[in-house]
Chain A
Amino acid sequence: METFISEPAVRQVQVQFFTNSPDIALPEEKQQLIVPTNIGRSGLSQILNSDSMLATPNIVPFQFLINSSFLRTTLEEYLSASGFSTETQIRLEYVRSFIPPIYEASF
């Protein structure tokens, strides 16, 4: 039997992005995405700004909400705190961030 030496794999979860601001809305086919769980606000913001997503000419910082509460941790920490597994899709609302980003442990 072969054995595999692997670093502890980063978990992944499916998210569904949505926003109430039409000017930053994603086309329907891009709203669904598998993301790593070791990211928080800034990683998610980086994903949304990327060429394959919103392709913003200037970087727009975003804040994220799950069930109307701001996400202040990584997705992994959110999942373990709320008792959800990676089998459940997360509905992730995004809004433009107007407040200066506070210190976060996540990237």
Chain B
Amino acid sequence: STHLDTLRLVDPHMVAEARQQWTHYEALTRDLSLSLTEQLRLILAPTLATKMRGDFRTGKRLNIKRIIPYIASQYKRDKIWMRRSVPSKRSYQIMLSVDDSKSMGESGSGSLAFETLVMVSKSLSMLEVGEICVVGFGKNVRVAHDFDTPFSSDAGPKVFQNFGFDQEKTDITKLVRESIELFRTARSKASGSPADLWQMQLIISDGVCNSSEHEPIRQLLRQALEERIMMVFVIVDDLRNKKKGESVMDLKEAKFVNGEVKIERYLDTFPFQYYLIVSDVKELPGVLATLLRQWFSEVVDSSN
């Protein structure tokens, strides 16, 4: 398949087709991209609404908690004022990982994944908040666009050439493990203060892998969290192409435990804490914004 992959990248017919596809999806998601951009602007770049912080001898607003100690200290402890702190500019490294396995093509979720990829990458490049990387995964993990390269207008079609939805395995453990490595390398190359660098990954997939992977993935996710890498799983579940019972929400698995059959809901052991299920790309700007807002309030504010 390496030979085929190489062909896909240089074949002029493939190149033209990828460009055409990109244009098609871009037109399809233009309004949604703009809406997502506006919502993300408020979440990712909170430069306006900064908090008042103490303690200063002069300032804009009194710090009420300092008043009694101030009086009690015979007016000596006089750092009773708060000032508006200068916000530091956050920068981001955002990785979009798209499931390139065969199940994506077979379940008809491939086009929904493309719509999602185009919409999100367009929004992020419009925002100019940092570096974007795109990887494809399945049996292997392949970088389709690296952090070092600007996401210019011809980047999109080039990215598309890397996807065929024909990989014969969905190895999410490998994806998470190799993503952590890619983020480490990117962090070491980043300019600016490491404290202001945020790393985030959006995994776009039908969500189905071998459930024996769920526990190893959970352990890797803990490691990612320690390294302040946020991983969000976007499960594309294209109900337009699915029958009743085929949605990932209804999907069940049979297990044999001591010779007895046990039937469990697949998602019950799904390891990603931050995941959302999208059956229509129109829902994505809203739910993605809600989820990111939740993440920032839980993880970022608690660590500050």
CA gap between A6 and B210 in the complex, in Å: 14
Q: How many residues of B contact A (CB 8 A)?
A: 31
When distances are taken between beta carbons in the complex, the residues of chain A under 8 Å from B169 are 85-87
With an 8 Å Cβ cutoff, the count of chain A residues facing the other chain is 29
CA A43 to CA B255, docked complex, whole Å: 10
The contact string, 1 if C-beta is below 8 Å from chain B, for chain A 18-47, is 000000000011111111100100010011
Across the interface, do A9 and B253 meet the contact criterion of CB distance under 8 Å?
no
A46 and B261 form a contact (CB under 8 A):
yes
Contact: A36 with B256, CB < 8 Å? yes
Given contacts A2-B223, A14-B208, A32-B251, contact A52 B106 (CB under 8 A): no
Q: Which of A11, A12, A47 contacts B261 (CB 8 A)?
A: A47
A50 CB within 8 Å of chain B: yes
- Verify if B192 is at the interface (C-beta below 8 Å from A): no
CA distance A32 to B211 in the complex (A): 16
B211 / chain A contacts, CB cutoff of 8 Å: 12, 34
Instruction: Find chain A residues with CB under 8 A from B246 CB.
Output: 32
Q: Which residues of A contact B272 (CB under 8 A)?
A: none
Known: A2-B219, A28-B245. A11 touches B252 (CB 8 A): no
Contact A29 B263 (CB under 8 A): no
* Measured CA separation A14–B253 after assembly (Å): 8
Chain A residue nearest to B102 (CB atoms) is: A87
Measured in the bound complex, the distance between the Cα atoms of B223 and A43 in whole Å is: 38
Q: Is A102 an interface residue (CB 8 A)?
A: no
Min C-beta distance of B93 to chain A, whole Å: 20
- Does A10 reach chain B (CB closer than 8 Å)? yes
Chain B neighbourhood of A11, CB < 8 A: 210
**Given A10-B212, A14-B208, A29-B244; A87-B106 close (CB under 8 Å):** yes
Contacts of A87 in B (CB 8 A): 101-103, 106, 167-170
Chain A CB within 10 A, most for which of B102, B219, B244, B263: B263
Given contacts A28-B245, A32-B245, A35-B253, is CB(A4)–CB(B261) below 8 Å?
Answer: no
Residues A12 and B102 in contact, CB atoms below 8 Å apart: no
Q: B103, B170, B219, B245: which contacts A31 (Cβ < 8 A)?
A: B245
Q: Which residue of B lies closest to A83 (CB)?
A: B168
Indicate which residue in B101, B216, B254 contacts A35 across the interface (CB closer than 8 Å).
B254
CA gap between A43 and B208 in the complex, in Å = 22
Q: What CA separation (Å) do A47 and B253 show in the bound complex? A: 10
Q: Are B250 and A32 in contact (CB under 8 A)?
A: yes
CA distance A10 to B256 in the complex (A): 11
Q: Which residue on B lies nearest to A28, using beta carbons?
A: B244
Choice from A30, A52, A53 contacting B245 with Cβ under 8 Å? A30
A56 within 8 A of B: no
Interface residues of B (CB under 8 A from A): 101-103, 106, 167-170, 208, 210-213, 216, 219-220, 223, 243-246, 250-256, 261, 263, 266
List residues of chain A with CB under 8 Å of any chain B CB: 2, 4, 6, 9-12, 14, 28-36, 39, 43, 46-47, 50, 52-53, 85-89
4 further contact pairs, Cβ within 8 A, besides A6-B216, A34-B211, A34-B252: A28-B245, A30-B245, A33-B263, A39-B256
Closest 6 CB pairs of A and B: A87-B102, A34-B253, A29-B245, A85-B168, A52-B263, A9-B212
Ordered by A's residue number, 13 sampled pairs between the chains whose C-beta atoms are within 8 Å are: A10-B212, A14-B251, A29-B250, A30-B245, A30-B252, A32-B245, A32-B246, A33-B253, A52-B261, A87-B102, A87-B167, A88-B106, A89-B106
